[in-house]
Structure 1
Amino acid sequence: MTFRFYLPTRVFFGEGILKEHGDLLGRLGRRALVVTGRKSAVASGALADFEVLAKKLGLSWVVFNEVPANPTLETVAQAVDLARREGVDLVIGIGGGSPLDTAKAVALLVPNKAAAARLYEADLPEPPLPLAAVPTTAGTGSEVTQHAVFTLPAKEIKKGFSDDRCFPLVALVDPRYTYTLPRDITIDTALDTLTHAIEGYLSRRSNPLSDTLALEAVRLFAGQKEALLAGNLLPAARRDLMYAATLGGMVIAQTRTTILHTLGYPLTYSHDIPHGRANGYLLAAYLEFIQPAEPVKVNNLLKALGMASIEEVRELIRHLLPPLAKFPAKELDRMASLAAANASSLAWTARQATAADLGNILYRSLG
């Protein structure tokens, strides 16, 4: 048996973790740029907890709170400009995946003097600023990955960026920060977690350790199916979903995602469907496509979910998510063409997919 597993992030998980282990931030820098969205860091209490901690540690900070749900490189550029003007030596992302992803790009770009618009092709030889992550949603697992995803309006797509230097040095994961999330966002982010685990498990890049984490994340999700359906999201459910999200992030840090995510991106970009929800709509058809290539693994996933068939997965999604109007054939073909252009995603998928296969997944899910 031979495999590699790389995760340089120090992870601290639990309620009140910022108060218990936040002193680590004082060792990373003295003036921080806090990258957040417009609501979640405040509503969750995470920003207030950070401010109390920062005063205790003698840190100064400036807040960039303009990260939208689907950030562009223009958003990154605004944050980078602020970081350079303020002379920060530490970046702290507080929020869901979008603020954390933006924080990663900022930390990497500031010392490299590169323009944000050239993130995907610039030469970035200098090490990034120290980066810490405080997630406030249980979905992306961005606190333990080297990946970031940005919207590229000129190309009408969302595109991932990866650099091993973008792993946060510290992840402070407190389930309490998800307590204020409404049911619909909790479901959307939980489905993002679930699809991270499933895609990682079914990836050509998977390994025995990532598989172990993936199945555990699926089991944790399965244990909270009824809570998600009923909206009965007590602290124990929130803890399990947050733990599953971090495990899912650890998985895709090794495996990346596959065609399911790639097919979901146009739904988010062009039709404003939240990312995890988009993945959820496509999940059953994706599993049906992969099953002939990986029957044992798909069966393992169904067992971990407590289900006997992929049809039960489809039924769960039908009860969790609002119904969608059918998409016109022309639009489904356009989205399939976009996904077919992503060679790396196709290469990592367990079953080789043609443009027609991708179109069929979309037609079965949305047509």
Structure 2
Amino acid sequence: MDLRFYVPTQVYFGTRVLEKNKAQLTSWGKRALIVTGASSAKKSGALQDIIAILEQDGIVYRIFDKVEENPSLATVLQGCREVKEWEADFIIGCGGGSPLDAGKAVALLSAQEKINQDIFQLENPGAMLPYIAIPLTAGTGSEVTPYAILTDPAVETKRNLSTAFSFPVVAFLDPRYTESLPLDITCHTAIDALSHAIEGYVSRRATPLTDHLALEAIKCFRGTFPALLSGNIALEEREKLLYGSLLAGLVIAQTGTCLVHALGYNLTYYHDIPHGAANGYLMEAFLAFIAQDVPAKTANILAALGLDYSWQVGKMLSLLLSPTSINLSEEQLALYAKKTLESKSIQFNPRIPTEEDLKNMLRKLISIN
């Protein structure tokens, strides 16, 4: 058996985990830049907890709260300017996937002596500034991956900025911080974590270890589905969702994602469909597409979800999602298929789809002009 597993991030999981491990937040420098969105860090109580601990230890800080949903290169570069001007020596990312990815990118790019015109092709990247990740949603797993997913208008899609150095040094996961999330975001991020687990499980880069973690993550989703459906989500269920997201993040840190993410990015970039929802809309068609290539794994996924057929996955997820009403032209279908086939992650799919395969997947969820 050949197996490689690399995640250098220290993980602290549980209620009041910051308070119980203060030194792991404050031991990385003297000047912290806190990267977050406009409101989620405050609403969750996480920002107040972070500030209280920093102030207790005499750590000075500045808050960069300009991160938008699906963060842009321009926002990341603005954050880098804040680091240089203020001479921050470590970065704290606090938020959902967008602030965590933006903070990661800021920590990485701020440490580079030279940045090419295309920041996604760093030459001889050096180590990043110490980066601490504090997730406020249960979905992206960014706290244990090297990936920073950024919107790049130059190519009209999302792109992945990552190196061997771009893992957070520490991650703090407290399920209390997810209690203030609206139900739709809770559902979307849960589906994103499920998608990570499924894509990682069937990836050509999967190993027995990632397989075990992926199936456990899928079972976490199944176990919390009734709560997601009812909207009555207790702290125990939120803890399970966050744990499943963590496991799925550990999976894709090794395997990457594949077809669902590559195709779904088009729905997010061009139609503003939330990332997790886009993955959910595509999941049934994806499982049907790969079933003949990985029949045993497809059966295991369905069993972990307590289902028998791939169409039931679509039905299950549709109960958590709003109906779609996208109309696409044949030209748009061709464009999205082309962009998907250009994605690096598509090579890890169990079978490389054709352009027509991808068009058919989209046709199953939309009406055509």
Give me the TM-score of the superposition, normalised by structure 2.
0.97
What corresponds to 1:234 in structure 2? Answer: 234
Cα separation, partners in 2 of 1:80 and 1:326, compared to 1, 3 Å: closer
Q: Tell whether the 8 Å contact from 1:73 to 1:116 is kept in structure 2 after alignment.
A: no
How far apart in 1 are the matches of 2:210 and 2:111?
33
Secondary structure in structure 2 of the residue aligned to 1:154: coil
How far apart in 2 are the matches of 1:219 and 1:81?
43
CA RMSD of aligned residues (A): 1.2
What corresponds to 2:168 in structure 1? Answer: 168
Shift of 1:25: 2.1
What corresponds to 1:336 in structure 2? Answer: 337
How far apart in 2 are the matches of 1:290 and 1:266?
20
Q: Tell whether the 8 Å contact from 2:268 to 2:278 is kept in structure 1 after alignment.
A: yes
Number of aligned pairs?
A: 366
Cα separation, partners in 2 of 1:170 and 1:332, compared to 1, 3 Å: same
Q: Matches of residues 261-276 of structure 1 in structure 2 within 5 Å?
A: 261-276=261-276
What corresponds to 1:33 in structure 2? Answer: 33
Q: Which runs of 5+ in 2 are unaligned?
A: none
Shift of 1:2: 1.4
How far apart in 1 are the matches of 2:136 and 2:8?
21
Secondary structure in structure 2 of the residue aligned to 1:133: strand
How far apart in 2 are the matches of 1:222 and 1:293?
24
How far apart in 2 are the matches of 1:132 and 1:149?
17
Bigger proportion of residues as helix? 1
Deviations 1:252-306 (A, max 9, x none): 0000000110000011111000000000000000000010000000000000001
Shift of 1:356: 1.2
Q: Matches of residues 80-99 of structure 1 in structure 2 within 5 Å?
A: 80-99=80-99
How far apart in 1 are the matches of 2:183 and 2:125?
43
More displaced 10-residue stretch of structure 1: 106-115 or 80-89: 106-115
How far apart in 2 are the matches of 1:115 and 1:42?
33
Deviations 1:12-37 (A, max 9, x none): 00000000013112221111111001
How far apart in 2 are the matches of 1:77 and 1:55?
27
What corresponds to 1:351 in structure 2? Answer: 351
Secondary structure in structure 1 of the residue aligned to 2:335: helix
What corresponds to 2:252 in structure 1? Answer: 252
Letter of the 2:338 counterpart: S
Deviations 1:139-160 (A, max 9, x none): 1000000011111112211111
Q: Matches of residues 73-112 of structure 1 in structure 2 within 5 Å?
A: 73-112=73-112
How far apart in 2 are the matches of 1:312 and 1:117?
46
Secondary structure in structure 2 of the residue aligned to 1:360: helix
Secondary structure in structure 2 of the residue aligned to 1:254: helix
What corresponds to 2:132 in structure 1? Answer: 132
Identity of aligned residues (%): 45
Letter of the 2:137 counterpart: T
Secondary structure in structure 1 of the residue aligned to 2:34: strand
What corresponds to 2:18 in structure 1? Answer: 18
Secondary structure in structure 2 of the residue aligned to 1:192: helix
What corresponds to 1:294 in structure 2? Answer: 294
Secondary structure in structure 2 of the residue aligned to 1:118: coil
What corresponds to 1:195 in structure 2? Answer: 195
Secondary structure in structure 2 of the residue aligned to 1:262: helix
Deviations 1:159-214 (A, max 9, x none): 11221211001000111100000100000000000000000001000001111100
Deviations 1:19-64 (A, max 9, x none): 0013112221111111001111111110000011101121111110
Deviations 1:109-147 (A, max 9, x none): 112144586321232543211111000000100000001
Secondary structure in structure 2 of the residue aligned to 1:35: strand
Give me the TM-score of the superposition, normalised by structure 1.
0.97
